[in-house]
Amino acid sequence: MKKNLFLVVLFLFPIFTYGELFLEITKGSEDPYRVAMIPFEGNSRVSKQLNDIMRNDLIRTGEFSILDEELLLPVKIINDELVFSDWKLLGIDYLVTGTIGNANNSLDISYEIFDIHKKRKVRSSKVFGIPNQIRQLAHYTSDGIYESITGIKGIAATRLLYVNEVKDSRFISIYKLMLADSDGANEKVLLSSSEPIISPSWSPDGKRVAYVSFETGIAKVFIQEIASGKREAVLSQDTQISSPSWSPDGKYLSLTLYQDGNAEIYILRLRDRTLTRMTNQFAIDTESSWSPKGNKILFTSGRSGSPQIYELDLRKLNPKAKRISFEGTYNAKASYLPNEEGVIFVHRSNDGLFHIALKYKRENFIRVLTEAKMDESPSVAPNGNMVIYGIKENDLSMLAGFSLSGAKFKLPASDGEVREPAWSNFLR
């Protein structure tokens, strides 16, 4: 137990900006949708900002190729109908146009999407906000474009949590709980402490976060409001606590406690702080996560002799853990895909390296999805199409991600190391 306690700096609303993550696209899809985006009419400065953000949002999914601006053609309208033929000759699948309006201190964005091959308009929509919300409005527009073309909800307007560790002038670690847009921009500090912060987790409504802090020398689970910065300790133990995970209804946290000297899975009812023990095994049980319907929990256990993934069916009285991973000697940190058709987890391959892997329920084998040496802490986007995780590169921790369609990206930090990412739910 540490005896020396240090001051914790808590940033209250308004939250202050601290640096940026830098998005690096490392690979795109082999057969993307080919899209031409005409710069939106209106305020040229705002138009450029919108265009840059939307291009980044769509390319990052790995499913889009955006035509270079210098190759764009004039938009021809004859008898109130778009002339599609020129765009078809360019090999374009979809055309996006739009206008920007200002009225009563409101920024109004109108946009249209045209299917070049079917020669028809597929979407006409509007997004409203205030001038200092350009990034948010761009993300909303990107999500509208993504959903109109793919039929899947976009995740540009979602947000990320992660832990940033930096060294001060004395080379002492400072831990920061960070919040950022899904592309790594607009980074903000939620909490700063000289003691570790671990296991950040989003509430289902995106208004609160849960995490474990050691700021008083013992482990405490805090719940903190994003907007106000107000926070409350909901569990304090003179022992180890880790991996709080929200139930889909926001009424419970599953977590790992070492109350009897061994790691076990518990469920904390937030209404009255009641703890219910869910496992009772000689081996370590940890890293729980809920199914989207809230009727099952995944967790990691060493009860078979090596770390493997198990599942508890909460609909049953005194449920027994069911092993669901069998390939390899190490599988851990699992979470369900949003539709429960599979799980994402950390897998150690035959070369001894740790990768992010996927196993569909209908398949008897796993798919290794990453190539780095030390991949960890995967978090799945709410649409199930993208995963963000931690990697080690040149002995530094940073974030990376991929789409199931083949795109890859990195999010190195401007300062320090970043780890334990958590992807929010849809926020609108």
Q: Residue 80's domain is classified under what CATH number?
A: 3.40.50.10070
In a domain, 231, yes or no: yes
Per-residue pLDDT, 422: 97
* The two structure tokens encoding residue 396: 């530094």
Q: Are residues 251 and 172 in the same domain?
A: yes
Asked, for residue 402, whether it belongs to a domain, the answer is yes
My answer on whether 222 and 133 are in the same domain is no
For the segment 334-385, what is each residue's pLDDT rounded down to a tens digit?
A: 999 999 999 999 999 888 889 999 999 999 889 999 987 789 999 999 999 9
Classify each residue of 236-264 as buried b or exposed e, where b means 16 or more C-beta atoms within 10 Å of its C-beta: ebeebbbbbbbbeeeebbbbbbbeeeebb
Element (H, E) at 108: strand 106-115
**Residues in contact with 170: Cβ distance below 8 Å, sequence separation at least 6, in sequence order:** none
CB-based contacts of 191, cutoff 8 Å, min separation 6: 8, 9, 10, 11, 176, 177, 197, 211, 213, 224, 231
Residue 219 is assigned to a structural domain of this protein? yes
Q: In the prediction, which pLDDT does 29 show?
A: 59
**333 pLDDT more than 80:** yes
In a domain, 24, yes or no: no
89: CB partners within 8 A, 6+ apart:
none
The pLDDT value given to residue 259: 82
The residue segments making up the domain with residue 262 are 159-423
223 and 347 share one domain: yes
Which of 142-151, 255-264, 403-412 shows the lowest per-residue confidence on average (mean pLDDT)?
403-412
Residues 167 and 292 in one domain: yes
